[in-house]
Amino acid sequence: MKNVVKIALAGFGTVGTGLAKILKENKEWIKKRTGKEIVISKILVKNLNKPRTLIPHPNTIFVDTPEALFQDNDWDILVELIGGIDLPYQLITKALKLGKSVVTANKALLSMKGKDLLKLAETQNVGLYFEASVGGGIPIIQTLKESLSGNKIKAITGILNGTANYILTEMSQNELTFSEALNQAQEKGYAEADPSLDIKGIDAAHKLTILIFLAHGVVYPLEKLWVKGIENIETQDISFAKELGYVFKLIAQVKEKSGHLQAGVFPALLPQKHILAKVDGPFNAILVQGNAVGPIMLYGQGAGDLPTGSAVLADIISLIKNNYAPNNTGFIESPFKDANILDNVSVVCEHYFRFQVLDKPGVLSALSGIMGEHNISIAQAIQKAQNKKKGVPIVFLTHRARLGDVEKAINEINRFDFVLQPTVHYPIIH
Amino acid sequence: MKNVVKIALAGFGTVGTGLAKILKENKEWIKKRTGKEIVISKILVKNLNKPRTLIPHPNTIFVDTPEALFQDNDWDILVELIGGIDLPYQLITKALKLGKSVVTANKALLSMKGKDLLKLAETQNVGLYFEASVGGGIPIIQTLKESLSGNKIKAITGILNGTANYILTEMSQNELTFSEALNQAQEKGYAEADPSLDIKGIDAAHKLTILIFLAHGVVYPLEKLWVKGIENIETQDISFAKELGYVFKLIAQVKEKSGHLQAGVFPALLPQKHILAKVDGPFNAILVQGNAVGPIMLYGQGAGDLPTGSAVLADIISLIKNNYAPNNTGFIESPFKDANILDNVSVVCEHYFRFQVLDKPGVLSALSGIMGEHNISIAQAIQKAQNKKKGVPIVFLTHRARLGDVEKAINEINRFDFVLQPTVHYPIIH
């Protein structure tokens, strides 16, 4: 066997340079682990003239076209770290067709085109690895594919987006508004100039579909996922939650019920004692409930050059150590059926409501009356005095109730003329 | 390839029956993962006449001698779940010599004889897997061997013993004394009749040496490890810690400093905000600091039939999927050198002191004088009124100081005639 493994790297941004740094810093250690030297032999970049402070290896060649990257095919693994859909799809498809293994961090691509790509990898009997696509350096992909593969997974509950978690942590701990927290996240490099994928829950949704595929062996089409972002969370709801012993988190969750899956990405209240409630700032965590292992949680940095580079390197090492025998999905035959989906109206959980109402007699009784008519039982209520014009907020925490019933109740309540703003509602997760 | 994988199981206690239950419950799911049926074909038990409610498979044969277990050698993997040293050592050695792969949960054996057994497995080129030996169902072994193998590990900080953690949690949250909490743990099945391995830190020490081996590729002899149990922790120290914003945990820790290792098992104070401070009851967690991945934490049930059975199954599936090509240590050549050990006197951290002293003038000044002489700078102090005869407790939290200096200071302080009891001291971990 050769003693050098050659990497063709597509993209030399944050994660690509992170990978290059780790390969340099830990070169001797990686040799002890793999018996090989891992060398980045070619890098596809947009602009060949951009000055580079980090040159991975004296022999590294920078190229600016896919053709040049594939010329001679003198490398072993394609590492795709460009982002986007079309060009990565072309590059990965071409590499797989050439019988090359591929490592990618591209969750959007996997969420949308993963089925095609995994089918192709299976036909070609080559590796398509993607540890870095979910949870940065957290080994959640490996854990689902291997360590927990003998478990039936009952539930996955994750904090999968570090930007959203940073914003919610700042809103909660330092009483910032959403837009103040977002500005701060952008200044610190935790949020991009266009943060919509992160704050609208779409990035977490991409990641959740990947986890569902590995845990349950079915495809959950992205467009069928219930996705709600954090952009409308108000400071007063964060305060009420805190007063009641809860924190806000953007949760990505899938639950299995008799062969059907219930899944979504949404802001929710978690009790302060919940293990995920302690996951603050840009950190990610994934709580997995297996029918044998019980609850386990993996926690770490969900982004960043070195953590994500570490996950890419884990895939490269895994391919080398298994002599490129692929274990892409953790299943003998990749299962590409669509999930049996349980509609979200049938979700049963506790709920948080905030009504903004005129402060007049009969209001509380009318609100609780509607709740009762829809089988929603109130566990706690808070009413506070406030500015007369804007009305007063009334907060209810309820016992477990169907989401379908909750939606009906909210529709009726919003029709009352004493209700001054659309009712605010969030699920509570235990 | 055969479609049935036959297991010879040594021991049919908690974990053995857990494994059998999972294999039964998840049989079809495991086939989707491995393409095989996993069957427990023989079980070595002490007493053949004991009635068994769970029979793993219609063809399972119960035997009561090692000879009968090995007769015909008509199985593929030995799963050793007896516990103890001598018999497991014999069984595993014999299996490895026959070219059979072995899965074990036996941390004491691995800690004491792991080097011999891994050398033998390497010579024979067969698998010796031990995911269940540390952290129950938590995939920490796999994570160190594979996902983080490209990282240099700077520190591991673990809560590795569920019994000790349950006791400390009860002492802290429900204000039980140590012996009340121990009794309760025994009643609930979290502690054994003889709990000394757990409460004295020895079980955690066994596990720590296994983690050190995988993370650093060196043998840290058990007898060189600094090990201190929880049996002398007093209720008042738990209360003072709480008042100051800290919790007590039995910590297993290794830190790397310029190629040297500093390791120990000891009770320590953790800030309530520390991610490990939230690990309560019988749960375990391991925080790993890698030079690329940064901090990651794995959390789950450290014991129990199904969680530990899940880890045993993970090893079996891993052996099957890799076609028995062993990856026992995560190194190309297993490194069996002894660790370069940094003496614990050179540990630098913050400290908690409690002095029990006569309430008379000059005491505080004498205590703080000795501290100053040994370069220990006081960060916080508490003095409370108490029973005159027993004296008053004075608590100091210090800034970072060398453990060697702390020990010298304590020796001098304990010689004062106003000091009524030996001074209590614990490290603080951040």
- Average pLDDT estimate for B270-282: 94
Chain A residues lying within 8 Å of B322, measured CB to CB: 322, 325
What distance in Å separates residue A228's CA from the closest CA in chain B?
28
What distance in Å separates residue B34's CA from the closest CA in chain A?
6
Q: Is B10 annotated as a binding residue?
A: yes
Instruction: Supply the pLDDT for residue A288.
Output: 98
Contact A297 B292 (CB under 8 A): no
Instruction: Supply the pLDDT for residue B231.
Output: 96
Contact B32 A331 (CB under 8 A): yes
- Average pLDDT estimate for A111-131: 96
For residue B67, what are its two tokens?
Answer: 């000879």
For residue A317, what are its two tokens?
Answer: 């090492």
Task: State the count of interchain CB pairs (< 8 A) between A and B.
Answer: 192
Residues B54-63 pLDDT 10s: 999 999 999 9
- CA of A321: which chain B residue's CA is closest? B327
Q: What pLDDT band is residue A344 in, cutting at 50, 70 and 90?
A: confident
Inter-residue contact B312 to B179 (CB < 8 Å): no
Chain B residues lying within 8 Å of A143, measured CB to CB: 139, 142-143
Instruction: Supply the pLDDT for residue B381.
Output: 93
- Average pLDDT estimate for B79-108: 97
Residues A35-79 pLDDT 10s: 999 999 999 999 999 999 899 999 999 999 999 999 988 999 999
d(CA A231, CA A208) in angstroms, rounded, equals 19
Q: Is B404 annotated as a binding residue?
A: no
**Test mutation, B31, B218, B256, B293, chain A, max A CBs within 10 A:** B293
Which of B294, B300, B321 is opposite residue A295, by nearest beta carbon? B300
Contact B22 A146 (CB under 8 A): no
Q: Give span(s): CATH 3.30.70.260, chain B.
A: 344-428
What distance in Å separates residue A1's CA from the closest CA in chain B?
14
Instruction: Supply the pLDDT for residue A30.
Output: 97
Inter-residue contact A46 to A64 (CB < 8 Å): yes
Residue B294 has pLDDT above 70, yes or no: yes
What distance in Å separates residue A290's CA from the closest CA in chain B?
9
Contact A332 B138 (CB under 8 A): no
Contact B150 A327 (CB under 8 A): no
For the annotated binding site of A for NADPH, the residues are 107
Q: What is the ipTM of this complex?
A: 0.95
Which of B290, B299, B310 is opposite residue A150, by nearest beta carbon? B310
Contact A32 B331 (CB under 8 A): yes
Inter-residue contact B150 to B305 (CB < 8 Å): no
Instruction: Supply the pLDDT for residue A101.
Output: 97
Q: What pLDDT band is residue B100 in, cutting at 50, 70 and 90?
A: very high
Inter-residue contact B88 to B52 (CB < 8 Å): no
What distance in Å separates residue A285's CA from the closest CA in chain B?
9
d(CA A374, CA B251) in angstroms, rounded, equals 50
What distance in Å separates residue B82's CA from the closest CA in chain A?
21
Instruction: For chain B, state the CA radius of gyration.
Output: 24
Contact A26 B150 (CB under 8 A): yes
| High-pLDDT (> 70) share of chain A, % | 99
Q: State the burial class of residue A269 (Cβ atoms within 10 Å of its Cβ: 0-12, 13-18, 19+).
A: buried
For the annotated binding site of A for L-homoserine, the residues are 192
For residue B143, what are its two tokens?
Answer: 């994570």
Q: Give span(s): CATH 3.30.360.10, chain A.
A: 140-302
Contact B150 A317 (CB under 8 A): yes
**Active site residue ranges of A:** 207
Q: How many CA atoms lie within 13 A of B340 on its CB side?
A: 5
Residue A55 to residues A18, A316, B142, Cα–Cα distance (Å):
12, 20, 32
Contact A301 B317 (CB under 8 A): no
Q: What pLDDT band is residue B282 in, cutting at 50, 70 and 90?
A: very high
Mean pLDDT, chain B, integer: 95
Chain A residues lying within 8 Å of B147, measured CB to CB: 131, 139, 142, 311, 314
Which of A147, A309, A310 is opposite residue B314, by nearest beta carbon? A147
Residues B405-414 pLDDT 10s: 999 999 999 9
Contact A310 B148 (CB under 8 A): yes
Residues B188-223 pLDDT 10s: 989 988 999 999 999 999 999 999 999 999 999 999
- Within a 10 A sphere around the Cβ of A82, how many other Cβ atoms? 22
What distance in Å separates residue B407's CA from the closest CA in chain A?
35
- CA of A22: which chain B residue's CA is closest? B292
Instruction: Supply the pLDDT for residue B328.
Output: 95
Q: What pLDDT band is residue B1 in, cutting at 50, 70 and 90?
A: low
Which of B34, B137, B275 is opposite residue A299, by nearest beta carbon? B275
Which of A309, A316, A332 is opposite residue B292, by nearest beta carbon? A309
Contact B293 A307 (CB under 8 A): yes
Is B322 or A16 the better-scoring residue by pLDDT? A16
Q: Is B201 annotated as a binding residue?
A: no
- CA of B18: which chain A residue's CA is closest? A292
DSSP letters of A229-260? -STT--HHHHHHHHHTTEEEEEEEEEEEETTE
For residue B396, what are its two tokens?
Answer: 């100091």
Q: What pLDDT band is residue A386 in, cutting at 50, 70 and 90?
A: low
* Strand ordering across the sheet containing B61-63: B61-63, B37-44, B4-10, B77-80, B101-104, B128-129
Chain A residues lying within 8 Å of B306, measured CB to CB: 291-294
Residue B2 has pLDDT above 80, yes or no: no
- Within a 10 A sphere around the Cβ of B353, how many other Cβ atoms? 22
Class of CATH domain A140-302: alpha beta
For residue A2, what are its two tokens?
Answer: 């050769």
Q: What pLDDT band is residue B122 in, cutting at 50, 70 and 90?
A: very high
Chain A residues lying within 8 Å of B35, measured CB to CB: 332
B4-129+307-321: CATH, from 3.90.1150.10, 3.30.1370.60, 3.40.50.720, 3.30.360.10: 3.40.50.720
Chain A residues lying within 8 Å of B157, measured CB to CB: none
Residue B386 has pLDDT above 70, yes or no: no
Output the CATH code of domain A344-428: 3.30.70.260
- Considering only CA atoms, which of A199, A91, A353, A143 is closest in space to residue B131? A143
Rounded (10°) angle between helices B27-34 and B14-25:
80
Instruction: Supply the pLDDT for residue B325.
Output: 84
Which of B304, B314, B333 is opposite residue A150, by nearest beta carbon? B314
Inter-residue contact B48 to B165 (CB < 8 Å): no
- Considering only CA atoms, which of B86, B51, B93 is closest in space to residue B70? B93
Contact B332 A138 (CB under 8 A): no
For the annotated binding site of A for NADP(+), the residues are 10-17
Instruction: Supply the pLDDT for residue B401.
Output: 97
Which of B150, B152, B300 is opposite residue A296, by nearest beta carbon? B300
Which of B142, B299, B335 is opposite residue A146, by nearest beta carbon? B142
Contact A150 B321 (CB under 8 A): no
**Test mutation, B28, B143, B149, B333, chain A, max A CBs within 10 A:** B149
Contact B149 A327 (CB under 8 A): no
Residue A302 has pLDDT above 60, yes or no: yes
Query: Active site residue: B113, B145, B207, B249, which one?
Result: B207
Output the CATH code of domain B140-301: 3.30.360.10
What distance in Å separates residue A393's CA from the closest CA in chain B?
32
Residues A251-287 pLDDT 10s: 999 999 999 999 999 999 999 999 999 999 999 999 9
Q: Give span(s): CATH 3.40.50.720, chain A.
A: 4-129+307-321
Instruction: Supply the pLDDT for residue A374.
Output: 97
- Average pLDDT estimate for B318-334: 90
Provide the terminal-to-terminal Cα distance of chain A, rounded to the nearest Å: 52
Contact B150 A314 (CB under 8 A): yes
Inter-residue contact B427 to B349 (CB < 8 Å): yes
- Considering only CA atoms, which of A66, A82, A88, A73 is closest in space to residue A41? A73
Is A191 or A139 the better-scoring residue by pLDDT? A139
| High-pLDDT (> 90) share of chain B, % | 91
Chain B residues lying within 8 Å of A216, measured CB to CB: none
**Test mutation, A33, A276, A280, chain B, max B CBs within 10 A:** A33
- CA of A147: which chain B residue's CA is closest? B314
Residue A390 has pLDDT above 80, yes or no: no
